[in-house]
Structure 1
């Protein structure tokens, strides 16, 4: 959906080298053969299973785009999309790299504390690369059961942006953020963490937001309070920041109608795509100013997001 011109092509930015080029989307976005494996000498693949899930989701996305609304979704549609999102969450190169990095950090920590490899294996840690790859495949197959409900339980919003200020998409398009204080031992980024916001681009001008229900509740309460103030003390609204947008957001959560993003929202959305992408960021128009600015500020942004184990 992010194609450039008549053919299925995208402008591509490589985070590590800052080089750009134009290529067919299928040549860059797909991580080929990760889900191919062998049992003995016999080759197997689970790609047909994943392709079937994608094929089920594709017409649902099209109906959203054609209607420019989430109101067309049935409960079954939301279920199928939640399955798709769960698979997408673990399927990308960035997801695998982040998991591998966290495991390597933990293994290094345990070795520093005196654990031998035999002890680590006895404790359930898998050190064999092939077996770890099989585990990753199993994790992908189990993703709908493990993560699907988290997507389904959230409040969904359809975001829009003008063609002259489009969304970009990274090679790990499922981007998370949480603006609430990080006061727990495990951080505040996770599918089921209170306050989490999940974003997934659909086209250069439309994206899906999936917010923790508590976020939507805050907007609805704020909209109700604004309504009371409008009737009783309209002058006090001057102290609020963009009360009209608060009310539009609360309405969109209920109706499923599209919500136009502010320039600040668009910049934040695109920055999140940069942060989560492992290697590449894609654009329909080839505008990568924000991407260049971001990777220039921090070498950590030349790869995908990583967690720190301590």
Structure 2
């Protein structure tokens, strides 16, 4: 699961648009074609202002910044864009294959390894992670100036907190961590979700999001190797990929077994003494049967199965994660940001605070 590292590409200062979310592999899957048929566009929500961008911008001009993955070192430009582009080119057909087949069964081990690398690089390259690194470096520099103003390495610490210093650290973080994190992602349990007919998946400037129902207190519950972690990356407006730590599946299976015991007890009681079974118990039996079918289907389709139909509540959960993890922008094929507007209204400064320390 190797990632091509950065290189000195050129000696000019030419600026170039570098996407946080790759166009070919992901962004185009959330776009629509305007009547002229010449370009792909998206509806774009600005989470800092809490409103929809009036125009429907081209995918060429969204979820990216000029020279975001390039930094000037002396007279040359050090860039990781070539490695990211190569990874996108290798992964785009794999994502398209999943969408076309509506299943994970079509993936080879090699496909899964490439996609694991893409997912980890996608998380590391997001502007939210860059912003977290910037905050950490600036805080460290400020504390160093206050506590040890005469320190011999103060200038080095301050250099790391500069714009170019943070950018270089961010690029090297992608280079250094992608391979190791990809091995973790590869080892987890994968599940494909299908959107409801009435709703679509969003994609933000930080499309790989994390969620956990665990609570480890001050140690934190979010991280690639944290027990119970759930990663999700939307693949298109209709499909999203979830990647679960094995503990999630273990807990689901345990819950399934416990519910099965209760269900069997009620069924036996219903068969032997039907008059003693209350209406509430009968309703519980029906509800438990429904949950069994749903959980059976989910567990049967882990890693190699067809897409799991999402409920409206599932869709709100997935899209709210895109909102909370985004640094600023969220894109969609449709003008369907009612949830985003409500989340902004309820908590304008909300979202996931993620620190790199």
TM-score > 0.5 by shorter chain = yes
Are the structure 2 counterparts of residues 130 and 255 from structure 1 closer, same or farther at C-alpha, using a change threshold of 3 Å?
closer
Please say if 1:16 is aligned against 2:44: no
SS in 2 for 1:253: coil
Are the structure 2 counterparts of residues 243 and 116 from structure 1 closer, same or farther at C-alpha, using a change threshold of 3 Å?
farther
| 1:61-210 correspondence runs (5 A) | 61-108=95-142, 114-116=147-149, 118=151, 121=154, 126-183=160-217, 185-210=218-243
SS in 1 for 2:190: strand
**For the residues of structure 1 that align with 2:139 and 2:73, how far apart are their CA atoms?**
29
Are the structure 2 counterparts of residues 36 and 106 from structure 1 closer, same or farther at C-alpha, using a change threshold of 3 Å?
closer
Match of 2:314 in 1: 265
Between structure 1 and structure 2, the one with the greater Rg is 2
Are the structure 2 counterparts of residues 268 and 42 from structure 1 closer, same or farther at C-alpha, using a change threshold of 3 Å?
same
What RMSD, in angstroms, separates the aligned Cα atoms of the two structures? Answer: 2.7
**TM-score, scaled relative to structure 2:** 0.77
- Gaps of at least 5 residues in structure 1 are none
Are the structure 2 counterparts of residues 226 and 305 from structure 1 closer, same or farther at C-alpha, using a change threshold of 3 Å?
closer
Match of 1:274 in 2: 323
* Residue 233 of structure 1: how far off its partner (Å): 4.1
SS in 1 for 2:192: strand
Query: What is the aligned length?
Result: 306
**For the residues of structure 2 that align with 1:96 and 1:228, how far apart are their CA atoms?**
49
Kept after mapping to 1: 8 A contact 2:208/2:233: yes
Q: Deviations over 1:217-236 (max 9, x none)?
A: 22234445555666664367
